[in-house]
Amino acid sequence: MNIQNPEIENNVFDVRGLNLWYGNDQALKNINMQIEKNKITAIIGPSGCGKSTFIKTLNRMIENVPIVRTTGEILYHGNDIFDKSMRVEELRTKVGMVFQKPNPFPKSIFENVVYGPKIHGIKDKKLLMEIAEASLKSAALWDEVKDRLNDNAYGLSGGQQQRLCIARCIAVQPDVILMDEPTSALDPIATLKVEELMDSLKQEYTIAIVTHSMQQAARISDKTAFFLMGDLIEYDKTEAIFSNPRDKRTEDYITGRFG
Amino acid sequence: MREQMEDRIREIHSKVEYMSRLSAGSIGQAMEAFVRQDARIAKQILAQDPEINKLEKEIENLCITLAATQSPLASDLRQMVSIIKIVTDLERVGDYSCNIAEVVISLGKYELVKPLERLPIMEKKVREMLEASLRAYFQHDIELAYATARKDDEVDTLYEEIYRELLHLIKIRENQEDQIIGLILVGRYLERIADHATNICERVILMMTGENVKL
Protein backbone atom coordinates (compact mmCIF):
# COMPACT_ATOMS: atom_id res chain seq x y z
CA MET A 1 0.00 0.00 0.00
CA ASN A 2 1.40 3.31 -1.02
CA ILE A 3 -0.37 6.24 0.53
CA GLN A 4 0.78 9.58 -0.81
CA ASN A 5 0.18 11.55 2.31
CA PRO A 6 2.91 14.10 2.99
CA GLU A 7 2.05 14.15 6.67
CA ILE A 8 2.70 10.45 7.00
CA GLU A 9 5.87 10.70 4.95
CA ASN A 10 7.19 13.40 7.21
CA ASN A 11 6.63 11.36 10.32
CA VAL A 12 9.43 9.01 11.28
CA PHE A 13 7.47 7.70 14.24
CA ASP A 14 3.75 7.57 14.68
CA VAL A 15 2.92 6.50 18.21
CA ARG A 16 -0.68 5.35 18.64
CA GLY A 17 -2.34 4.56 21.94
CA LEU A 18 0.88 3.48 23.62
CA ASN A 19 0.58 2.14 27.17
CA LEU A 20 3.48 0.78 29.16
CA TRP A 21 3.65 -0.92 32.53
CA TYR A 22 6.56 -1.81 34.80
CA GLY A 23 4.90 -4.73 36.56
CA ASN A 24 1.69 -3.19 37.89
CA ASP A 25 2.83 0.41 37.61
CA GLN A 26 1.68 2.15 34.49
CA ALA A 27 4.47 4.43 33.26
CA LEU A 28 2.96 5.57 29.95
CA LYS A 29 -0.74 6.19 29.40
CA ASN A 30 -2.32 6.22 25.99
CA ILE A 31 0.43 8.22 24.27
CA ASN A 32 -0.39 9.50 20.80
CA MET A 33 2.36 11.48 19.16
CA GLN A 34 4.24 11.85 15.88
CA ILE A 35 7.95 12.47 15.58
CA GLU A 36 8.78 14.43 12.47
CA LYS A 37 11.62 13.80 10.07
CA ASN A 38 14.68 16.07 10.29
CA LYS A 39 13.35 17.84 13.34
CA ILE A 40 14.59 17.94 16.90
CA THR A 41 11.85 16.87 19.27
CA ALA A 42 12.44 17.67 22.93
CA ILE A 43 10.75 15.72 25.67
CA ILE A 44 10.43 17.46 29.00
CA GLY A 45 8.77 16.72 32.30
CA PRO A 46 9.57 16.09 35.96
CA SER A 47 11.51 13.01 37.06
CA GLY A 48 9.41 9.89 36.84
CA CYS A 49 7.04 11.32 34.23
CA GLY A 50 7.90 8.63 31.70
CA LYS A 51 10.03 10.65 29.28
CA SER A 52 13.09 8.36 29.33
CA THR A 53 10.83 5.31 29.24
CA PHE A 54 9.15 6.81 26.20
CA ILE A 55 12.29 7.33 24.11
CA LYS A 56 13.69 3.96 25.15
CA THR A 57 10.50 2.40 23.84
CA LEU A 58 11.10 3.90 20.40
CA ASN A 59 13.93 1.45 19.70
CA ARG A 60 12.62 -1.21 22.07
CA MET A 61 15.60 -0.70 24.37
CA ILE A 62 13.04 -0.72 27.18
CA GLU A 63 12.57 -4.45 26.68
CA ASN A 64 15.87 -5.00 28.46
CA VAL A 65 13.82 -4.39 31.58
CA PRO A 66 12.19 -7.80 32.12
CA ILE A 67 8.94 -6.72 33.76
CA VAL A 68 7.89 -4.32 30.99
CA ARG A 69 4.61 -4.79 29.17
CA THR A 70 3.26 -2.58 26.39
CA THR A 71 0.06 -2.17 24.39
CA GLY A 72 -0.61 0.07 21.43
CA GLU A 73 1.37 0.72 18.28
CA ILE A 74 4.54 2.52 17.33
CA LEU A 75 4.81 2.90 13.59
CA TYR A 76 8.35 3.49 12.36
CA HIS A 77 8.08 4.62 8.74
CA GLY A 78 4.70 2.97 8.71
CA ASN A 79 5.73 -0.37 10.21
CA ASP A 80 4.78 -1.39 13.71
CA ILE A 81 7.96 -1.91 15.72
CA PHE A 82 6.18 -4.43 17.96
CA ASP A 83 5.27 -6.61 14.97
CA LYS A 84 6.86 -10.05 14.88
CA SER A 85 8.45 -9.29 11.51
CA MET A 86 10.43 -6.37 12.99
CA ARG A 87 14.07 -7.26 13.59
CA VAL A 88 15.11 -5.57 16.80
CA GLU A 89 18.83 -5.35 15.94
CA GLU A 90 17.99 -3.61 12.70
CA LEU A 91 15.63 -1.21 14.48
CA ARG A 92 18.33 -0.33 17.01
CA THR A 93 20.82 0.27 14.21
CA LYS A 94 18.42 2.67 12.55
CA VAL A 95 17.35 4.24 15.84
CA GLY A 96 20.52 4.90 17.78
CA MET A 97 20.87 6.18 21.29
CA VAL A 98 23.15 8.49 23.25
CA PHE A 99 22.98 8.45 27.03
CA GLN A 100 23.29 10.89 29.89
CA LYS A 101 26.79 9.82 30.90
CA PRO A 102 29.29 9.46 28.07
CA ASN A 103 29.94 5.72 27.83
CA PRO A 104 32.87 5.07 25.49
CA PHE A 105 34.29 1.57 25.41
CA PRO A 106 37.71 1.09 27.05
CA LYS A 107 39.32 1.08 23.63
CA SER A 108 41.00 3.53 21.30
CA ILE A 109 39.09 6.45 19.78
CA PHE A 110 39.21 4.74 16.40
CA GLU A 111 37.98 1.39 17.73
CA ASN A 112 35.09 3.10 19.49
CA VAL A 113 33.83 4.67 16.28
CA VAL A 114 34.18 1.58 14.09
CA TYR A 115 32.84 -0.84 16.71
CA GLY A 116 29.37 -0.92 15.12
CA PRO A 117 30.49 -1.19 11.47
CA LYS A 118 32.87 -4.02 12.49
CA ILE A 119 30.04 -5.92 14.14
CA HIS A 120 28.09 -5.45 10.93
CA GLY A 121 30.89 -7.30 9.16
CA ILE A 122 32.98 -4.53 7.65
CA LYS A 123 36.63 -5.63 7.71
CA ASP A 124 38.25 -3.46 5.06
CA LYS A 125 40.75 -1.20 6.89
CA LYS A 126 40.50 1.61 4.37
CA LEU A 127 36.71 1.63 4.50
CA LEU A 128 36.73 1.58 8.32
CA MET A 129 39.09 4.54 8.30
CA GLU A 130 36.77 6.41 5.96
CA ILE A 131 33.79 5.66 8.20
CA ALA A 132 35.73 6.81 11.28
CA GLU A 133 36.76 10.06 9.62
CA ALA A 134 33.29 10.84 8.27
CA SER A 135 31.61 10.00 11.60
CA LEU A 136 34.08 12.01 13.66
CA LYS A 137 33.69 14.94 11.28
CA SER A 138 29.89 14.74 11.55
CA ALA A 139 30.26 14.70 15.32
CA ALA A 140 32.50 17.79 15.16
CA LEU A 141 35.31 15.91 16.87
CA TRP A 142 37.68 15.12 13.99
CA ASP A 143 39.90 18.17 14.28
CA GLU A 144 40.44 17.54 17.97
CA VAL A 145 41.34 13.84 17.69
CA LYS A 146 42.68 13.21 14.19
CA ASP A 147 46.27 13.03 15.43
CA ARG A 148 45.55 10.61 18.24
CA LEU A 149 43.02 8.14 16.94
CA ASN A 150 44.81 5.27 18.66
CA ASP A 151 44.75 6.89 22.09
CA ASN A 152 42.39 5.45 24.64
CA ALA A 153 38.97 7.14 24.55
CA TYR A 154 39.06 7.54 28.34
CA GLY A 155 41.72 10.22 27.86
CA LEU A 156 39.18 12.54 26.23
CA SER A 157 37.29 15.19 28.17
CA GLY A 158 33.66 14.54 29.09
CA GLY A 159 32.39 16.72 26.25
CA GLN A 160 34.69 15.00 23.76
CA GLN A 161 33.62 11.58 25.05
CA GLN A 162 29.99 12.49 24.49
CA ARG A 163 30.70 13.61 20.93
CA LEU A 164 32.63 10.37 20.46
CA CYS A 165 29.51 8.47 21.51
CA ILE A 166 27.54 10.48 18.98
CA ALA A 167 30.16 9.61 16.33
CA ARG A 168 29.88 5.94 17.30
CA CYS A 169 26.14 6.18 16.90
CA ILE A 170 26.44 7.89 13.49
CA ALA A 171 28.97 5.31 12.23
CA VAL A 172 26.25 2.70 11.67
CA GLN A 173 24.26 5.17 9.55
CA PRO A 174 21.17 5.54 11.68
CA ASP A 175 18.03 7.38 10.75
CA VAL A 176 17.06 8.57 14.21
CA ILE A 177 19.23 9.55 17.17
CA LEU A 178 17.64 9.32 20.59
CA MET A 179 19.37 11.30 23.31
CA ASP A 180 18.69 10.89 26.99
CA GLU A 181 19.93 14.04 28.75
CA PRO A 182 23.09 14.07 26.63
CA THR A 183 24.58 17.21 28.17
CA SER A 184 23.59 16.95 31.81
CA ALA A 185 27.12 15.85 32.75
CA LEU A 186 28.86 18.48 30.61
CA ASP A 187 30.06 22.02 31.26
CA PRO A 188 28.45 24.95 29.37
CA ILE A 189 31.07 25.04 26.60
CA ALA A 190 30.86 21.31 25.96
CA THR A 191 27.07 21.59 26.13
CA LEU A 192 27.13 24.35 23.55
CA LYS A 193 29.24 22.19 21.24
CA VAL A 194 26.87 19.25 21.53
CA GLU A 195 23.90 21.55 20.93
CA GLU A 196 25.54 23.03 17.84
CA LEU A 197 26.28 19.52 16.70
CA MET A 198 22.64 18.51 17.12
CA ASP A 199 21.55 21.48 15.08
CA SER A 200 23.80 20.45 12.20
CA LEU A 201 22.89 16.76 12.53
CA LYS A 202 19.22 17.41 12.01
CA GLN A 203 19.89 18.04 8.31
CA GLU A 204 20.47 14.32 7.99
CA TYR A 205 18.94 12.74 11.05
CA THR A 206 15.85 12.94 13.15
CA ILE A 207 16.58 13.64 16.79
CA ALA A 208 14.54 13.08 19.93
CA ILE A 209 16.07 14.41 23.13
CA VAL A 210 15.06 14.09 26.75
CA THR A 211 16.24 17.10 28.70
CA HIS A 212 15.74 18.60 32.14
CA SER A 213 16.91 21.98 30.93
CA MET A 214 14.04 24.17 29.77
CA GLN A 215 16.53 26.53 28.18
CA GLN A 216 18.10 23.70 26.24
CA ALA A 217 14.74 22.49 24.95
CA ALA A 218 13.84 26.07 24.03
CA ARG A 219 17.18 26.68 22.29
CA ILE A 220 17.53 23.59 20.19
CA SER A 221 14.23 21.87 19.54
CA ASP A 222 11.58 22.38 16.88
CA LYS A 223 8.84 20.67 18.82
CA THR A 224 8.44 20.00 22.52
CA ALA A 225 6.40 17.37 24.32
CA PHE A 226 5.52 17.77 27.99
CA PHE A 227 4.98 14.55 29.93
CA LEU A 228 3.49 14.34 33.40
CA MET A 229 2.95 11.14 35.36
CA GLY A 230 2.83 9.01 32.24
CA ASP A 231 0.51 11.31 30.29
CA LEU A 232 1.48 13.38 27.29
CA ILE A 233 0.02 16.69 28.42
CA GLU A 234 0.97 18.98 25.58
CA TYR A 235 2.87 18.62 22.32
CA ASP A 236 3.41 21.64 20.13
CA LYS A 237 5.92 23.84 18.38
CA THR A 238 8.67 24.71 20.83
CA GLU A 239 8.08 28.46 20.59
CA ALA A 240 4.42 27.94 21.51
CA ILE A 241 5.25 25.72 24.49
CA PHE A 242 7.70 28.20 25.98
CA SER A 243 5.93 31.46 25.18
CA ASN A 244 2.28 30.53 25.43
CA PRO A 245 1.51 26.97 26.54
CA ARG A 246 -2.14 25.98 26.33
CA ASP A 247 -2.28 23.68 29.33
CA LYS A 248 -2.03 25.11 32.83
CA ARG A 249 0.10 22.16 33.95
CA THR A 250 2.68 22.90 31.23
CA GLU A 251 2.70 26.54 32.26
CA ASP A 252 3.17 25.61 35.92
CA TYR A 253 6.01 23.22 35.13
CA ILE A 254 8.06 25.47 32.87
CA THR A 255 7.64 28.50 35.11
CA GLY A 256 8.67 26.50 38.18
CA ARG A 257 5.30 26.81 39.93
CA PHE A 258 4.96 23.08 40.25
CA GLY A 259 3.76 21.40 43.42
CA MET B 1 13.61 29.69 43.12
CA ARG B 2 10.01 30.50 42.31
CA GLU B 3 9.94 32.80 45.33
CA GLN B 4 12.98 34.71 44.08
CA MET B 5 11.24 35.21 40.76
CA GLU B 6 8.10 36.45 42.46
CA ASP B 7 10.04 38.79 44.75
CA ARG B 8 11.70 40.36 41.74
CA ILE B 9 8.45 40.68 39.83
CA ARG B 10 6.87 42.34 42.89
CA GLU B 11 9.78 44.79 43.09
CA ILE B 12 9.37 45.64 39.40
CA HIS B 13 5.64 46.00 39.86
CA SER B 14 5.90 48.51 42.66
CA LYS B 15 8.15 50.65 40.47
CA VAL B 16 5.78 50.38 37.52
CA GLU B 17 2.98 51.47 39.83
CA TYR B 18 4.94 54.52 40.99
CA MET B 19 5.87 55.39 37.40
CA SER B 20 2.20 55.06 36.36
CA ARG B 21 1.15 57.54 39.03
CA LEU B 22 3.77 60.07 37.92
CA SER B 23 3.02 59.73 34.20
CA ALA B 24 -0.76 59.77 34.53
CA GLY B 25 -0.51 62.64 37.03
CA SER B 26 1.64 64.69 34.67
CA ILE B 27 -1.20 64.96 32.13
CA GLY B 28 -3.58 66.47 34.66
CA GLN B 29 -0.94 68.94 35.77
CA ALA B 30 -0.04 69.85 32.20
CA MET B 31 -3.65 70.53 31.33
CA GLU B 32 -4.12 72.55 34.50
CA ALA B 33 -1.13 74.67 33.52
CA PHE B 34 -2.64 75.01 30.05
CA VAL B 35 -6.10 76.07 31.21
CA ARG B 36 -4.71 78.53 33.76
CA GLN B 37 -1.96 79.70 31.40
CA ASP B 38 0.38 79.10 34.30
CA ALA B 39 4.06 78.82 33.33
CA ARG B 40 5.02 78.09 36.92
CA ILE B 41 3.11 74.78 36.98
CA ALA B 42 4.42 74.04 33.48
CA LYS B 43 7.99 74.37 34.72
CA GLN B 44 7.27 71.97 37.57
CA ILE B 45 6.22 69.34 35.02
CA LEU B 46 9.47 69.74 33.12
CA ALA B 47 11.38 69.43 36.38
CA GLN B 48 9.64 66.13 37.22
CA ASP B 49 10.24 64.47 33.89
CA PRO B 50 13.77 63.18 34.63
CA GLU B 51 12.27 61.15 37.50
CA ILE B 52 9.97 59.38 35.03
CA ASN B 53 12.87 58.77 32.63
CA LYS B 54 14.98 57.42 35.45
CA LEU B 55 12.25 54.99 36.46
CA GLU B 56 11.98 53.72 32.89
CA LYS B 57 15.69 52.84 32.88
CA GLU B 58 15.54 51.32 36.36
CA ILE B 59 12.62 49.07 35.44
CA GLU B 60 14.29 48.06 32.17
CA ASN B 61 17.44 47.13 34.03
CA LEU B 62 15.48 45.11 36.58
CA CYS B 63 13.82 43.24 33.71
CA ILE B 64 17.21 42.54 32.12
CA THR B 65 18.49 41.20 35.43
CA LEU B 66 15.36 39.08 35.78
CA ALA B 67 15.91 37.65 32.29
CA ALA B 68 19.58 36.97 32.98
CA THR B 69 19.16 35.35 36.38
CA GLN B 70 15.71 33.77 36.40
CA SER B 71 15.18 32.85 32.72
CA PRO B 72 11.47 33.64 32.74
CA LEU B 73 9.28 31.54 30.44
CA ALA B 74 5.66 31.43 29.30
CA SER B 75 3.46 33.91 31.27
CA ASP B 76 6.49 35.20 33.22
CA LEU B 77 8.25 35.94 29.94
CA ARG B 78 5.23 37.63 28.43
CA GLN B 79 4.75 39.73 31.55
CA MET B 80 8.37 40.83 31.48
CA VAL B 81 8.19 41.81 27.80
CA SER B 82 4.92 43.65 28.44
CA ILE B 83 6.47 45.60 31.30
CA ILE B 84 9.44 46.64 29.15
CA LYS B 85 7.04 47.97 26.53
CA ILE B 86 4.61 49.56 28.98
CA VAL B 87 7.36 51.62 30.62
CA THR B 88 8.29 52.93 27.17
CA ASP B 89 4.67 54.01 26.71
CA LEU B 90 4.63 55.65 30.13
CA GLU B 91 7.85 57.46 29.42
CA ARG B 92 6.37 58.82 26.17
CA VAL B 93 3.26 59.96 28.03
CA GLY B 94 5.55 61.94 30.33
CA ASP B 95 7.21 63.50 27.30
CA TYR B 96 3.87 64.59 25.84
CA SER B 97 2.97 66.24 29.14
CA CYS B 98 6.27 68.10 28.86
CA ASN B 99 5.41 69.08 25.30
CA ILE B 100 2.12 70.53 26.53
CA ALA B 101 4.02 72.35 29.29
CA GLU B 102 6.37 73.82 26.67
CA VAL B 103 3.41 75.14 24.70
CA VAL B 104 2.10 76.78 27.89
CA ILE B 105 5.46 78.42 28.57
CA SER B 106 5.93 79.69 25.02
CA LEU B 107 2.41 81.15 24.77
CA GLY B 108 2.55 82.97 28.11
CA LYS B 109 -0.68 84.91 28.87
CA TYR B 110 -3.17 85.40 26.06
CA GLU B 111 -6.81 86.04 25.21
CA LEU B 112 -8.48 82.83 23.99
CA VAL B 113 -9.69 82.93 20.38
CA LYS B 114 -12.76 81.08 21.59
CA PRO B 115 -13.74 79.36 24.83
CA LEU B 116 -12.29 75.87 25.26
CA GLU B 117 -14.96 73.25 24.65
CA ARG B 118 -13.66 70.06 23.22
CA LEU B 119 -10.12 70.09 24.61
CA PRO B 120 -11.26 69.61 28.24
CA ILE B 121 -13.59 66.80 27.10
CA MET B 122 -10.70 65.23 25.24
CA GLU B 123 -8.40 65.57 28.22
CA LYS B 124 -10.94 63.81 30.44
CA LYS B 125 -11.33 60.95 27.99
CA VAL B 126 -7.60 60.56 27.49
CA ARG B 127 -6.90 60.48 31.22
CA GLU B 128 -9.67 57.97 31.74
CA MET B 129 -8.23 55.81 28.97
CA LEU B 130 -4.73 55.87 30.40
CA GLU B 131 -5.93 55.14 33.92
CA ALA B 132 -8.19 52.33 32.72
CA SER B 133 -5.40 50.78 30.63
CA LEU B 134 -3.15 50.74 33.70
CA ARG B 135 -5.94 49.31 35.83
CA ALA B 136 -6.40 46.58 33.20
CA TYR B 137 -2.68 45.84 33.56
CA PHE B 138 -2.57 45.73 37.34
CA GLN B 139 -5.83 43.80 37.67
CA HIS B 140 -5.15 41.48 34.70
CA ASP B 141 -8.49 42.54 33.19
CA ILE B 142 -8.70 41.61 29.49
CA GLU B 143 -12.27 42.91 29.06
CA LEU B 144 -11.26 46.30 30.39
CA ALA B 145 -8.25 46.35 28.06
CA TYR B 146 -10.45 45.74 25.01
CA ALA B 147 -13.13 48.22 26.15
CA THR B 148 -10.53 50.91 26.83
CA ALA B 149 -8.80 50.50 23.50
CA ARG B 150 -12.13 50.92 21.72
CA LYS B 151 -12.39 54.46 23.15
CA ASP B 152 -9.41 55.54 21.08
CA ASP B 153 -11.74 56.18 18.12
CA GLU B 154 -13.73 58.72 20.15
CA VAL B 155 -10.53 60.57 20.99
CA ASP B 156 -9.42 60.51 17.35
CA THR B 157 -12.80 61.94 16.26
CA LEU B 158 -12.57 64.71 18.84
CA TYR B 159 -9.09 65.61 17.68
CA GLU B 160 -10.27 65.70 14.05
CA GLU B 161 -13.02 68.15 15.01
CA ILE B 162 -10.68 70.36 17.04
CA TYR B 163 -8.12 70.35 14.27
CA ARG B 164 -10.62 71.30 11.55
CA GLU B 165 -12.16 74.07 13.58
CA LEU B 166 -8.80 75.61 14.47
CA LEU B 167 -7.55 75.30 10.93
CA HIS B 168 -10.54 77.33 9.85
CA LEU B 169 -9.90 79.92 12.58
CA ILE B 170 -6.26 80.32 11.61
CA LYS B 171 -7.33 81.82 8.27
CA ILE B 172 -9.50 84.52 9.81
CA ARG B 173 -7.38 85.22 12.94
CA GLU B 174 -3.94 85.47 11.46
CA ASN B 175 -2.61 87.58 14.34
CA GLN B 176 -3.47 84.77 16.78
CA GLU B 177 -1.66 82.16 14.77
CA ASP B 178 0.72 81.16 17.59
CA GLN B 179 -2.09 80.49 20.00
CA ILE B 180 -4.08 78.48 17.46
CA ILE B 181 -1.07 76.33 16.56
CA GLY B 182 -0.48 75.85 20.29
CA LEU B 183 -4.05 74.61 20.74
CA ILE B 184 -3.70 72.23 17.79
CA LEU B 185 -0.48 70.90 19.29
CA VAL B 186 -2.06 70.32 22.69
CA GLY B 187 -4.86 68.36 20.97
CA ARG B 188 -2.29 66.40 19.02
CA TYR B 189 -0.32 65.52 22.19
CA LEU B 190 -3.47 64.35 23.95
CA GLU B 191 -4.37 62.24 20.94
CA ARG B 192 -0.91 60.62 21.04
CA ILE B 193 -1.27 59.86 24.76
CA ALA B 194 -4.49 57.99 23.95
CA ASP B 195 -2.50 55.96 21.40
CA HIS B 196 -0.06 54.98 24.13
CA ALA B 197 -2.95 54.00 26.41
CA THR B 198 -4.13 51.77 23.54
CA ASN B 199 -0.64 50.29 23.29
CA ILE B 200 -0.77 49.46 26.99
CA CYS B 201 -4.07 47.65 26.40
CA GLU B 202 -2.38 45.61 23.67
CA ARG B 203 0.46 44.70 26.04
CA VAL B 204 -2.08 43.55 28.63
CA ILE B 205 -3.70 41.25 26.07
CA LEU B 206 -0.32 39.88 25.00
CA MET B 207 0.60 39.28 28.62
CA MET B 208 -2.67 37.55 29.45
CA THR B 209 -3.34 35.55 26.29
CA GLY B 210 -0.14 35.43 24.24
CA GLU B 211 -2.01 37.10 21.37
CA ASN B 212 -0.15 39.96 19.79
CA VAL B 213 -3.08 42.13 18.73
CA LYS B 214 -3.25 45.53 17.05
CA LEU B 215 -6.17 47.47 18.43
Within 10 Å of residue A133's Cβ, how many Cβ atoms? 16
| pLDDT higher than 90, residue A204 | yes
Residue range(s) defining the domain that contains residue A154: 6-254
pLDDT at A2: 46
Q: B210 at the A interface (CB within 8 A)?
A: yes
Nearest CA in chain A to B81: A243
Q: Which CATH architecture does the domain made up of B2-209 adopt?
A: Up-down Bundle (1.20)
Q: B68 at the A interface (CB within 8 A)?
A: no
Residue pair A247/A234 in contact (Cβ under 8 Å)? The answer is: yes
| pLDDT higher than 50, residue A1 | no
| pLDDT higher than 60, residue B64 | yes
Interface confidence, given as ipTM, is 0.71
Contacts of B1 in chain A (CB under 8 A): 256
Contacts of A126 (CB under 8 A, 6+ apart): none
Q: Percentage of chain B surpassing pLDDT 90?
A: 84
Domain count, chain A: 1
Mean predicted confidence (pLDDT) in A234-255:
94
Q: B71 at the A interface (CB within 8 A)?
A: yes
What are the angstrom distances between the C-alpha of B149 and each of A74, B144, B157, B211?
A: 50, 8, 14, 15
Q: A245 at the B interface (CB within 8 A)?
A: yes
Nearest CA in chain A to B207: A244
Residue at A1 is within a domain: no
Q: B77 at the A interface (CB within 8 A)?
A: yes
Give one DSSP letter per residue of chain B, joined into a string: -HHHHHHHHHHHHHHHHHHHHHHHHHHHHHHHHHHHT-HHHHHHHHHHHHHHHHHHHHHHHHHHHHHHHH---HHHHHHHHHHHHHHHHHHHHHHHHHHHHHHHHHH-S---SS---HHHHHHHHHHHHHHHHHHHHHTT-HHHHHHHHHTHHHHHHHHHHHHHHHHHHHHH-GGGHHHHHHHHHHHHHHHHHHHHHHHHHHHHHHHHH------
Q: What is the pLDDT of residues B186-212, one digit of tens each?
A: 999 999 999 999 999 999 999 999 988
Name the nearest CA neighbour of A149 among A141, A158, A140.
Answer: A141
| pLDDT higher than 60, residue A3 | no
| pLDDT higher than 60, residue B98 | yes
| pLDDT higher than 60, residue B77 | yes
| pLDDT higher than 80, residue A75 | yes
What residue ranges do the domains of chain B occupy?
A: 2-209
pLDDT at A6: 53
pLDDT at A259: 52
From A140's Cα to the closest Cα of chain B, the distance in A is: 29
| pLDDT higher than 90, residue A54 | yes
Of A166-170, B70-74, B132-136, B194-198, give the lowest mean pLDDT range.
B70-74
Contacts of B5 in chain A (CB under 8 A): 255-256
Residue pair A255/B72 in contact (Cβ under 8 Å)? The answer is: yes
Contacts of B71 in chain A (CB under 8 A): 214-215
pLDDT at B69: 86
Q: Which domain CATH number covers A135?
A: 3.40.50.300
Q: B212 at the A interface (CB within 8 A)?
A: no
pLDDT higher at A200 or A2: A200
**Whole-number mean pLDDT of chain B?**
94
